[in-house]
Chain A
């Protein structure tokens, strides 16, 4: 088996079939995840692009909505030469995809986006001084507090006290073995003053403190055992039914909570930290990138689509209609977007996970070890030394 053949393994050579139009030089294929709710505002944005660019046909395709499934799909399609032109990518995939040569550098200057976008969002798309994607909408880890039970805690100590004493009590976080857990752990590490650079050194004092803290939460019952298999939705539903005092989650839950029995009794604030300054929430969200296989003639159109969908007007539409937090700083100061306004102070403290092509592989290691600590079967120092050993082998070998 020659080398090229082996790499072609992953080619998803999707043949034209009777139910799907194949892209060609006259059309632009845009892959995105389904948007939930009334899709009319989004369709209007796409139609606007069609109007201003009549020379090219815009074809949209729906991607699997689960992050892992989408990653696998992109891994196979972009490698094997499918016909995708513009794709959504998770914030943590940009460095990996850039390194693999699946997405193309965009003709955007790093200074421009550093100026206009939320800092963390800009940093997550700049690799080696070049811009590889434009942030479409972002997410940031936040703390939800039942204001009728406690004041939003600023320090970890206050968090423990509020969760222990409150009625209802308890602090919910995502402890299942998946990427969400890694977000929660990074936020805690940052809360203890730790760093997380692309050099991926994790066996640090702050990391040990962070893992001990999370393990103690579960062991002492401050967080219910159910968190060890909980994701965002499980936490939200428990919190929404009034069974917990505090929850770490993403901003999407805010809209849901407004329709529930505890509406008006909830505050959304920055996460706590050890010292009391606003904690760093993990940066989440999705970016738009251009496939590396787009021919030169089509590239301006692809770039135009990406710019159009990430423009201030489009992001305002997304914020209003779908509750998506925009990546542009300016939108957090507007008065006509009250839900976005709530995140104004919090978004500037967002921090991306390591922007490194190794990150997805490292994350797989982290997920297993962090899950072991949170469920109480491994000590933090054991887990971290195992993590470091595995990362060193991955990166160094």
Chain B
């Protein structure tokens, strides 16, 4: 019984602040500073945010960046993971250690030189320019999850495919990818969410308001002098809702993915 109480408190601690934000977004403007329940629910903040701030554009930019990052990270990650799991390249443990080291980098340490790199490639202030760093920093996670997944597939299947005349690439594509599909889906989810939420690189490499991704748009949301809390709450709710929905639908997957990825490390 006290267990039930603790569980309820824990759930409250986790969900209540976010629900308060959503409530703030739905309050009519005049009642924004009141603390009791609102007299009615109003969608003005949402309408304003969609019409006057470039939030829909920002969400589209974010979606493009996250989708491309996910595809690239899974593609490069699967290749690398398959190699590490089945093909045993030389320096395998060095590669794994290197990937681990990269996942420890403070992003601030890489901001300056990356700026120069993107500038030389002509990718500054463009959503495509974010895909490069995002993919790179998503690789360690993807590689860890997928290496484990491929290792779990019995080696005999690989041998059998080779005997049948498959090249390593087609063995990967025809046999292993379908079998590892659940782990791939999990990795894709985690990468997508991480890319959607990233702030520092997006803040540094994007400047024009129409180019921003959702987190930057929210951080920069301001009218002339003020903090428009109603609109901030509405923008935040909109930017977060897809993720929360994704997280709730794929709960089990996410939980198993996070735990597998971490415990392995």
Contacts and interface: CB of A to CB of B under 8 A. Distances in A.
Interface of A: 1, 5-6, 8-15, 17, 19-20, 36, 61-62, 64-66, 69, 72-73, 76-77, 80, 231-233, 236, 252
A62 B224 CA distance: 13
Interface string B195-215: 000000000000111100000
A61 B115 contact: no
Interface of B: 112-113, 115-116, 119-120, 122-126, 207-210, 220, 222-227
Contacts of B226: 233
B125 A14 contact: yes
A233 B116 CA distance: 37
Given A9-B119, A36-B223, A77 B207 contact: yes
B224 A65 contact: yes
Given A65-B223, A73-B207, A233-B225, 6 more contacts: A8-B120, A12-B119, A12-B124, A36-B223, A36-B224, A61-B208
Contact of B225 (A10, A13, A252): A252
A346 B124 CA distance: 44
Contacts of A6: 116
A375 B112 CA distance: 34
Contacts, number: 68
Among the interface residues B207, B209, B223, B226, which one has the most CB atoms of the partner chain A within 10 A? B207
B124 A14 contact: yes
B210 A19 contact: yes
Contacts of B209: 62, 64
A96 to B, nearest CB: 18
A123 to B, nearest CB: 25
Nearest to B228: A233
Contacts of B122: 13, 15
Among the interface residues B125, B209, B210, which one has the most CB atoms of the partner chain A within 10 A? B125
Given A66-B222, A232-B225, A72 B207 contact: yes
Nearest to A232: B225
From DSSP, what is the main secondary structure of chain A's interface residues?
Answer: mixed
Contacts of A65: 222-224
27 contacts: A1-B116, A5-B116, A5-B120, A8-B119, A9-B113, A9-B116, A10-B119, A11-B119, A11-B124, A12-B119, A13-B119, A15-B122, A15-B123, A17-B126, A20-B208, A36-B223, A36-B224, A62-B208, A64-B209, A65-B224, A69-B207, A76-B207, A77-B207, A233-B225, A233-B226, A233-B227, A252-B225
A72 B219 CA distance: 15
Contacts of A77: 207
B143 to A, nearest CB: 29
B220 A66 contact: yes
Contacts of B123: 15
B116 A14 contact: no
A83 to B, nearest CB: 12
Nearest to A15: B122
A7 to B, nearest CB: 9
Nearest to B126: A15
Nearest to B112: A9
Nearest to A73: B207
B62 to A, nearest CB: 16
A101 to B, nearest CB: 18
The 9 closest A-B pairs by CB, nearest first: A233-B226, A9-B116, A73-B207, A11-B119, A233-B225, A14-B125, A12-B124, A15-B122, A232-B225
Contacts of B113: 9
